[in-house]
Amino acid sequence: MIARGCPMASDRKEVLLPPESNVARLWSARRRVILLTGLAAGLILFFLWLPNGARAAMFTALRANRTMVTMLVVFSLITVSLLWSAGRSLDTRIFLLFNLRGSHPKWLDRAMWLATQAGNMITAVILAVIFFIIKYRRLTVEIILGTLTLWLLVEVIKALTDRARPFMDHEKARVIGWRERGRSFPSGHTAQTFFLAMLISHWFHPGIWGTAALYAAAGLVGFTRMYVGAHYPRDVLGGAVLGSVWGILVRLVDPYWFGRF
């Protein structure tokens, strides 16, 4: 017997959702391929835009600079290690150690969140404006073009590796601030801060202690990326190596591209 007021199954109206457009379906199915193609095209166009001498200098440096070649090999090994289950397990343990273990007072969470902002694009823009105002136009160009091309490279690698953020794999992971969008490897914030540390140390030659302070600040940003729940340790390490290599390359091509501005 059916109670009064309860509609029969036949009386219920189905809610029809509007059909998904062809464009939306295409974007949903091919999003990663479309993004990867666009980012790679942007990076290739930038290299084609460089003068011939700049491209030649980059390839010559790759052959002659052992430090840079070593760093590229290290970065490649870190990338390949993402496939190893043992590496993933170690990554997870270190991440959870920095992210969960110990005391986490609110003042420390706020301090770490503020420190991690040193790796975003706005910080690079502010630095570029400051150096432009104090008449370091060449350094301004290096920061702007270097940061933009590094961002493109990082996004291409992220699309290729397709590594999930830690908080997507671990429900207990603490997230300070907002949940970062995009993929995880490598850490763009860390790459940018090591890139800037490399550039500034080459420009101003601050001595061993000044250089150590610059890289310590960059390393702190890398640590905060784990603390706030945005990256695994290998994401941070990969970003540090990639940013350092990009800083060397930008300094090498600077004499060739500066004449265009």
What ranges do the domains of the chain cover? 24-260
**Better pLDDT: 40 or 100:** 100
**Spacing of C-alpha 76 from chain mean position:** 16
| Residue 77 confidence (pLDDT) | 76
Average pLDDT over residues 247-255: 78
Rounded CA-CA distance 185/95 in Å is 14
Helices 188-204 & 207-227, crossing angle to 10 degrees?
170
Contacts with 151 (C-beta within 8 Å, 6 or more apart), sequence order: 121, 188, 192
Confidence of residue 102 (pLDDT cuts 50, 70, 90): confident
**Better pLDDT: 251 or 39:** 251
Q: Is the pLDDT of residue 97 over 70?
A: yes
Rounded CA-CA distance 169/148 in Å is 30
| Residue 6 confidence (pLDDT) | 45
Stretch among 17-21, 42-46, 162-166, 179-183 having the lowest mean pLDDT: 17-21
Q: Is the pLDDT of residue 4 over 60?
A: no
| Residue 170 confidence (pLDDT) | 84
CA-wise closest residue to 162 among 188, 139, 185 = 185
Q: Looking at domain 24-260, which of 1.20.120, 1.20.144, 3.30.310, 1.25.40 is its CATH number?
A: 1.20.144
